Amino acid sequence: MSGTLTRLTLRALDSFARLLPRKDSTAQHLHTGRRGEEAAYFHLRKQGYVIIARNYRSPRSRSELDLVGWDGATLCFIEVKTRTTRNIMPAEVAVDAEKQHDLSRVAREFLRKIKTDALFRFDIVSVYFEPGLAADIELFKDAFTIS
């Protein structure tokens, strides 16, 4: 219930913010990515995940962990990929070997920082915002292993 109220509040605030005059220099794909991360966040909460970090960055890496959360006793590092169409290739394919390596480095640093020996895994969430359709969200648990 509180997730629904939070989502409605965020959407209302976003709607009001759009009415304010401002010059927006942010690229459209970044807006789409943020929308996808928000949709993934609420989807994962419905699945029972407890999200403990969003957009975790390390000064030693160019990558970031989009979401970090607990799925039961397993710590999950979640990469969110958002697309506006399925016509080119599946969103999850963008998490290639180089991206996996970068995410692994940031995850290792996160694990050292929180000092845990809990089980962990990497999940990928693909979010599609196709025109005229509701968001389609796919969760790939244990999508790859640490490199």
- pTM (predicted TM-score): 0.79
SS3 (DSSP) at 69: strand
Domains for the chain: give ranges and CATH numbers: 29-144 (3.40.1350.10)
Look-up of token digits 């290739």: 89
User: Measuring CA to CA, which residue among 80, 75, 16 is closest to residue 42?
Assistant: 80
**Structure confidence at residue 122 (pLDDT):** 97
Contact between residue 56 and residue 110 where contact means Cβ atoms under 8 Å apart: yes
Q: At 67, which helix (H) or strand (E)?
A: strand 64-71
**Structure confidence at residue 52 (pLDDT):** 96
pLDDT category at 26 given cuts 50, 70, 90 is low
**Structure confidence at residue 13 (pLDDT):** 84
Determine which of 25-39, 77-91, 94-108, 110-124 has the lowest per-residue pLDDT on average.
25-39
**Structure confidence at residue 102 (pLDDT):** 93
Q: How many residues does the chain have?
A: 147
**Structure confidence at residue 86 (pLDDT):** 83
Residues 6+ apart with CB under 8 A from 147: 97, 100, 101, 104
